[in-house]
Amino acid sequence: MWFLTRLADQLKQIEALEHTARELEKKAAELEKKTEALREELRKWED
């Protein structure tokens, strides 16, 4: 039965990694928005 415990532990690790991936995707989207806003601001200054 040790393998069931090991599988359960691995599942927890996978779930934690999935959560981390979702958080990183959210942060990446936020950074993309901020980057685009900065580009727009730069375009205003260049004109």
Can you give the residue ranges of every domain in the chain?
Answer: 18-47
The pLDDT value given to residue 12: 99
Q: What global pTM score does this model have?
A: 0.73
Q: How far apart are CA 28 and CA 5, in angstroms?
A: 35
**pLDDT for 32:** 99
Give the tens place of pLDDT for each residue, 7-39: 999 999 999 999 999 999 999 999 999 999 999
